[in-house]
Amino acid sequence: MKYTYLGRTGLKVSRLCLGTMNWGPHTDEKDAFAIMDKALEEGVTFFDTANVYGGRGPAPEHAGWTEEIIGRWFAQGGGRRESVVLATKFYNSMSDQLDGPNDAPGVSAYKMRRHLQASLTRLQTDHVELYQMHHIDRHAPWDEIWGAYEAVIDQGLVVYAGSSNFGARHLCYAQAAAHERHFLGLVSEQHRYNLACRLPELEVLPAAQELGLGVIPWSPLAGGLLAGHIAKPAGGSAAKSRTAEAMANLSETERDQITRYTEFCRELGESEANVALAWLLANPAVTAPIIGPSRIEQLTDALRAVEIDLDAAALAALDEIFPGPGGAAPEAYAW
């Protein structure tokens, strides 16, 4: 495994981040434990979760389930907690915190205190390295947000502040307010970014780089679109049927892109998933894409991505298949 600094901090993290959103609903506790053990064994030390994970979809009452699984894994000891750079998030409503109107989504100081304490209890730890706002809260002023962060950092409950799903202007507002307080502010932005979704190149990535924030891409395989399953259906008839349905739902342009992408990866001699990850890792703005393995084999396969060095010709070929927005703003759409 390779490592890099998280944004402008002195904290080193693995170049792949272990995503845990499937722990509970789709990956049972035993398998989740095995994947986390294997991740540490292979040097993947950066873990990401959120307080609402486990309760998405048809079972919102299970929000917090994923953090509980991680907490029980930590409780086994053996240096597990000490070896992990742990990131979690807050913003959404939690079914175990029925506090009326203040249970609405947001990142107020009130919600931060309640959600952080609940997350620490579920995670069976006394701190998290990276506490991330899961979304922008347009009602909470930055003086309130940064005052709350300063308090939990001073108390040793949190080490760094991060964001997720922020626009470039929100990153700038946040950092300007932090600068006025002589506070570090954000150190990272977790954002949807992949070969099939390159809009962040217009504003978010340039802003993050200039502000010294590490970018942590979520959905690096575009929800499985870049994993190779659509172009190469495997498994039984049911799996092939789902694959055919997924392919049918793509536009003609998307189907052409996936076909060309599969052919390119075959020529390169690498899997589609690993090329997609390697493409992200080649971007100097990116700290670590989030991988979400549901099986150990998926984790070990993804480790190869860190070793893939895409040359200029390969990057240009990928630009032809998945054109970006034309670079950073304003040059992408103006003179």
Query: What is the sign of the dihedral through the CA atoms of 287, 289, 295 and 300?
Result: negative
Instruction: Please give the pLDDT value at position 239.
Output: 46
Query: Residue 101's pLDDT band (boundaries 50, 70, 90)?
Result: confident
**pLDDT, average across residues 36-49:** 98
User: Would you kindly state where each structural domain of the chain is located, as residue ranges?
Assistant: 3-227+276-312
Given a cut of 80, whether residue 100 has pLDDT beyond it is no
pTM here?
0.93
**Would you report the helix, strand and coil content of the chain in percent, each value rounded to 5?**
45, 15, 40
Per cent of the chain over pLDDT 90 is 85
| pLDDT exceeds 60 at position 199 | yes
| pLDDT confidence of residue 102 | 80
For strands 12-14 and 3-5, give the pairing: antiparallel
Confidence of residue 84 (pLDDT cuts 50, 70, 90): very high
**Cis peptide upstream of residue 330 (ω within 30 degrees of 0):** yes
**Mean pLDDT, rounded, for 153-164:** 98
Place of tokens 């075959």: 266
Q: What is the 3-state secondary structure (H, E, C) of 143-201?
A: HHHHHHHHHHHHCCCEEEEEEECCCHHHHHHHHHHHHHCCCCCEEEEEEECECCECHHH
Quick one: CA torsion of 11, 27, 69, 72, rounded to 10 degrees? -100
CA 122, CA 169: separation in Å to the nearest integer? 33
Predicted pLDDT of residue 240: 47
Token pair, residue 309, equals 């060095």
Q: How confident is the model at residue 113 (pLDDT cuts 50, 70, 90)?
A: very high
Q: Which residues are catalytic?
A: 53
Position with higher pLDDT, 83 vs 64: 83
pLDDT over 70 (residue 294)? yes
Q: Average pLDDT in the 96-103 region?
A: 69
Q: What is the mean pLDDT of residues 181-187?
A: 98
Using a pLDDT cut of 70, give the percent of the chain over it: 91
172 — pLDDT class (breaks 50, 70, 90): very high
- Provide the token pair at 154: 């001073």
Average pLDDT, the chain: 93
Residue 315 reports pLDDT greater than 90: yes
For residues 218, 13, 305, 209, the Cα torsion angle rounded to the nearest 10 degrees is 60
Q: Is the pLDDT of residue 304 over 60?
A: yes
* 146 alpha carbon, distance to own chain's centre: 22
3-227+276-312: CATH architecture: Alpha-Beta Barrel (3.20)
Identify the residue with better confidence: 120 or 60.
Answer: 120
Instruction: Assign 64 a pLDDT band (cuts: 50, 70, 90).
Output: confident
